[in-house]
Amino acid sequence: MKHGKPLTRHTPLSAQTELKSKASLQRGVGPRRKKALRSRSKKTERRYVLRRALVDDLLAERPWCEIRWDEGCTGRAVDVDEVLSRGRGGDYLDPENCQTPCRYCHDKKHTEPAEALDRGVAAASRGRRAA
């Protein structure tokens, strides 16, 4: 590539070769996708169906808050939370990795992650325990 004067905002662009495609960049013109992209893959969709069933089962079997952060705890489990988060490799379909907190304790767990690690209601990563 030859180096000349630096481009400025008003330097006209000059193409060395013809563009191969003449597709219009206008919205709604040209080849269009017939169906919308899936928001979730079929595999993920199947896992979410299983997750939904697991959440219903766990909340029925374990209706009381399993974190009990402090006196703000309402006692009634409304969420299913993963001890080892999905982002850290936790499986949200593994009942062993799930706990049923009330909303108050669930919020506390996520707003105070260091304290959550100390209390053992969160895990740092797969196979590791809080020190």
Q: Which residues in the 102-121 window bind Zn ion by CB under 5 A?
A: 102, 105
Q: Which residues in the 24-53 window bind Zn ion by CB under 5 A?
A: none
Least Cβ distance, residue 91 to Zn ion (angstroms): 23
Closer residue to Zn ion (CB): 47 or 76: 76
Residues 6+ away with beta carbon under 8 Å from 1: none
Least Cβ distance, residue 70 to Zn ion (angstroms): 9
Exposure of 2 by Cβ count < 10 A (0-12 exposed, 13-18 middle, 19+ buried)? exposed
Binding mask 66-105 for Zn ion (x = CB under 5 A): -------x----------------------------x--x
Residues 6+ away with beta carbon under 8 Å from 126: 84, 88, 89, 90
Residues 6+ away with beta carbon under 8 Å from 73: 65, 67, 102, 104, 105
Residue 65 sits in the site that holds Zn ion (CB under 5 A): yes
Dihedral of CA 108/109/112/118: which sign?
Answer: positive
Closer residue to Zn ion (CB): 18 or 70: 70
Do 96 and 57 touch, CB atoms closer than 8 A? no
Least Cβ distance, residue 78 to Zn ion (angstroms): 9
**DSSP SS3 for 20:** coil
Closer residue to Zn ion (CB): 68 or 88: 68
Closer residue to Zn ion (CB): 81 or 84: 81
Q: Which residues bind Zn ion (CB under 5 A)?
A: 65, 73, 102, 105
